[in-house]
Amino acid sequence: MTRTGKTTLLSALCNYLPTIWRIVKIEDPEEIWVDRPTVQTVEARPQAIGTDVRPYTLADGVDDAMRMSPDYLVIGEVRDGVAAMSLFRALMTGHSGACTFHADSPREAARRLATVMGADAGVKPHEANQMISDAVDLLVQIGIRHEVRRVIAISNVSKDLKNGDVYFEPIYRYKEDSSMEEPNWEKLGELK
């Protein structure tokens, strides 16, 4: 879903990271603002019209960011399977990071990521699901309820697949019957 505040939330969360951490942002275009001197931005660029110069992609940016000794990687928005693959490979080598992605639920996010990884990078669905499960620890879903941007759900991502699919262990879920003035979340589990 667009205009829910994904980028705003990611910016806010990044501003709470330790100030001594080296944060490398990979974006297309630059939208995330982190107010500290230890932040470096790598920006993707399209192929210049009428030239043979290849585009500089988010995946290229992730690969280059890995050489910058980051403490934390941030991808503004994962839009394709090659960028997802690069990010997940980085996360599986012990790097920490975060990104945004368009989906209406955690399950849809996993399905769509697996689909774009298959279409753009030739990854089989089971392998994509395992990579998502291995690389992602936590998923935060945001949306609009009562015309207000809200955190809708927070889920742990299980390291074990269930019937070949990514499995989510809910931690918090927004109660749909909450009022706009007093949002209410139901605690369903523990942060791992």
Residue 132: per-residue pLDDT: 97
Residue 179: per-residue pLDDT: 62
Residue 1: per-residue pLDDT: 64
**115 SS3 class:** helix
Residue 148: per-residue pLDDT: 84
Residue 2: per-residue pLDDT: 75
**pTM, 2 dp:** 0.88
Q: In angstroms, rounded to a whole number, what is the distance separating the alpha carbons of residues 68 and 60?
A: 13
Tell me which DSSP letter residue 66 carries.
Answer: G
Tell me which DSSP letter residue 21 carries.
Answer: S
List the chain pLDDT tens, one digit each, 192 residues. 678 899 999 999 999 999 999 999 999 999 999 999 999 999 999 988 889 989 999 999 999 999 999 999 999 999 999 999 999 999 999 999 999 999 999 999 999 999 999 999 999 999 999 999 999 999 999 998 878 888 899 999 999 999 999 999 999 988 877 665 566 677 787 877
Residue 178: per-residue pLDDT: 65
| Helices vs strands, H then E, count in the chain | 5, 8
